[in-house]
Amino acid sequence: MCYRTVDFSMKSAGKRYCTGKDTEGFRTIFFPPASGYENLMLLFFYHFFNQINILMSPIAKNIFTGVAAILFITGSARAQADSINIVSTAVPFLRISPDARAGGMGDLAIATSPDANAPFWNLAKVPFAKKRSAVAVNYTPWLKDLGLNDVYLASLAAYYKLDDQQAISTSLRYFSLGNIQLTDYSGNVLNTVKPSEFSIDAGYSRILNEKMSIGVALRYINSRLVVGDVGTGVVYKAGNAVAGDVSLFYHGVNADGQGLNWGVVLSNLGSKIGYTNDSRNKDYIPANLGLGVSYATAINESNKITFGLDINKLLVPSAPSATGNYSADSAKLAQYRSTSVVSSWMKSFSDGTNQLNSLQASLGAEYSYNEQFFVRAGYFYENKNRGNRKFFSLGAGFNLDNLNINFSYLVPSGSGVTRNPLSNTLRFGIVFNLAGE
């Protein structure tokens, strides 16, 4: 099976590559001699998308421009005459919904009621949590819809309220990309790798007044895709980055469970990440601006329902489009890559694209009965020019003493390049409430 690719590096557009499987079931890609960047891109593309006739997905792109590219949250795609030009970043696993509760509401979480998963979405919610301390554990199978069993996202979050005004927290995400076998064009095995990525952070949040709180977090990111020379002539290393979050939360829900919450989050504000010693080849991480609002109403003492809306914008500018002129395209790409991180955040609002198209929306609802049984539903929207992800999700939750159990299910949607890799996937989450109110 052969594929035609389009690469943001603009050097491999139109090349054809062939793929296959070995007798042990590893996903294998046979690539002609090229730069190590291109080889890694093709390798990771095939590992995840050997069931579709195009290498790019609008769901995401893990690394672009010659570094291992795995498409999950943002990506780049071209199918025949149709083109989807998506903002690409490294480590997009940071934008994958890590917890089952939010996943059941279309990834809605910025202004919902606080729980142990708050450090993933809006750290400022933690001081308003009902429990003094809690730990959340979540597991998300990834690409189950394509029959892969060794790719998953696992996460852990915890907080502890120092007093009624302030709290500390931490969270961890681990993304396993499964087993990948590298071969050359003749099918000779070069190496077998088990790429993975993780992030860990520590945060502090405090109440500013009776309804307002603020939170800050510092995060370390590690992306170990390929290390060393895998036979391509390029020596790769694990990528490392440091980033921070700043968040604000307004808690307007009263003692009866009615009222309005809203929140603002700036997340993953940090350094670029690189996979070689070439300082010019570093990629942006997925800095993001999120705005969220939710309204809770009590039908009666036992029945309550919450509606919410989140709007997210990636603070990464679009890469320059290829014109076919290699010299001009290379110069534009070099200029794009040389833009400082802070400047890139500003430029994301004036990169020549329609800014409304860059917004992602999550609309969701949560019904609760007696604070013990929960039913959730949501819808996620992304403009067709930025990935075209559109899907419904469902969820449920149960409270058993100091244990909360959550499930979410992503309703199958799309086909081919627009197929969501979490289609038909059931996500699990458990929250352990370790201390009383």
With a cut of 60, say whether residue 22 has pLDDT above it: no
> How would you classify the pairing of strands 180-184 and 27-31?
parallel
The pLDDT score that the predictor gives to residue 420 is: 67
Q: 168 falls in which pLDDT band (50, 70, 90)?
A: very high
Q: Taking residues 280-307, what's their average pLDDT?
A: 93
The pLDDT score that the predictor gives to residue 304 is: 95
DSSP 185-238: TT--EEEEE--EEEEEEEEEEEESSSSEEEEEEEEEEEEES--EE-SSS-EE--
Note the CATH number of domain 98-177+194-312+357-435: 2.40.160.60
With a cut of 70, say whether residue 152 has pLDDT above it: yes
CB-CB neighbours of 403 under 10 Å = 11
DSSP state for residue 15 in the 8-state scheme: -
Give the C-alpha distances (Å, rounded to integers) separating 167 from 7, 134, 155, 247, 375: 45, 12, 20, 14, 29
Residue 109 Ramachandran class (φ > 0 left, ψ -120 to 50 alpha, else beta): alpha
- Unique residue bearing structure tokens 């093709």: 42
Dihedral Cα 333, 67, 239, 185, nearest 10 deg? -160
The residue with greater pLDDT, 216 or 280, is: 216
pLDDT tens digits, 70-103: 333 333 333 333 445 678 889 989 998 999 999 9
Q: Does an H or E element contain 331, and which?
A: helix 326-338
Q: Does an H or E element contain 143, and which?
A: none
Q: Which stretches of 225-336 are assigned E, i.e. beta strand?
A: 228-229, 235-236, 239-251, 259-270, 273-274, 282-283, 288-298, 303-314
What average pLDDT does the chain have?
A: 79
Residue 186 Ramachandran class (φ > 0 left, ψ -120 to 50 alpha, else beta): alpha
- Would you call 356 exposed, middle or buried from its count of C-beta atoms within 10 A (0-12, 13-18, 19+)? exposed
Yes or no: say if 250 and 212 are a contact pair by the CB < 8 Å rule.
Answer: yes
DSSP state for residue 322 in the 8-state scheme: P
Q: Taking residues 168-194, what's their average pLDDT?
A: 84
Q: 24 falls in which pLDDT band (50, 70, 90)?
A: very low
Yes or no: say if 383 and 110 are a contact pair by the CB < 8 Å rule.
Answer: no
Q: 415 falls in which pLDDT band (50, 70, 90)?
A: low
pLDDT tens digits, 359-371: 999 999 999 999 9
Q: Taking residues 299-309, what's their average pLDDT?
A: 94
Q: How far apart (Å, rounded) are the C-alpha atoms in residues 324 and 320? A: 12
The pLDDT score that the predictor gives to residue 232 is: 64
List, edge to edge, every strand of the sheet that includes 16-21.
2-4, 16-21, 27-31, 180-184, 189-193
The pLDDT score that the predictor gives to residue 84 is: 54
Burial 137-173 (b: 16+ CB within 10 A, else e): bbebbbbbbbebeebbbebbbbbebeeeeebebbbbb
pLDDT tens digits, 311-342: 999 999 988 877 888 888 888 888 888 889 99
Q: Taking residues 200-204, what's their average pLDDT?
A: 97
Q: Which stretches of 111-165 are assigned E, i.e. beta strand?
A: 133-141, 151-161
With a cut of 80, say whether residue 64 has pLDDT above it: no
Q: How far apart (Å, rounded) are the C-alpha atoms in residues 365 and 82? A: 35
Q: 15 falls in which pLDDT band (50, 70, 90)?
A: very low
The pLDDT score that the predictor gives to residue 12 is: 29
Q: Taking residues 113-133, what's their average pLDDT?
A: 95
Q: Taking residues 161-176, what's their average pLDDT?
A: 96
Yes or no: say if 108 and 292 are a contact pair by the CB < 8 Å rule.
Answer: yes
Q: 25 falls in which pLDDT band (50, 70, 90)?
A: very low
Q: Which residues contact 213 (CB under 8 A, 6 or more apart)?
A: 124, 125, 126, 127, 128, 205, 206, 207, 248, 249, 251
Tokens of residue 175, six digits = 């993304």
Q: Which residues contact 353 (CB under 8 A, 6 or more apart)?
A: 318, 385
For 58-62, 91-95, 174-178, 375-379, which range has the lowest pLDDT when averaged over its residues?
58-62
What distance, in Å, lies between the first and last C-alpha atoms of the chain?
A: 59
The residue with greater pLDDT, 40 or 353, is: 353
pLDDT tens digits, 227-254: 877 666 778 889 999 999 999 999 999 9
Taking only Cα atoms into account, the Rg of the chain, rounded to an integer number of angstroms, comes to 22
For 182-186, 253-257, 418-422, which range has the lowest pLDDT when averaged over its residues?
418-422
Tokens of residue 239, six digits = 């990528």
What residue segments make up the domains of the chain, in order of their start? 2-84, 98-177+194-312+357-435
Angle at 221 between CA 215 and CA 225, to 5 degrees: 155
Tokens of residue 305, six digits = 């329902």
The pLDDT score that the predictor gives to residue 202 is: 97
With a cut of 80, say whether residue 67 has pLDDT above it: no
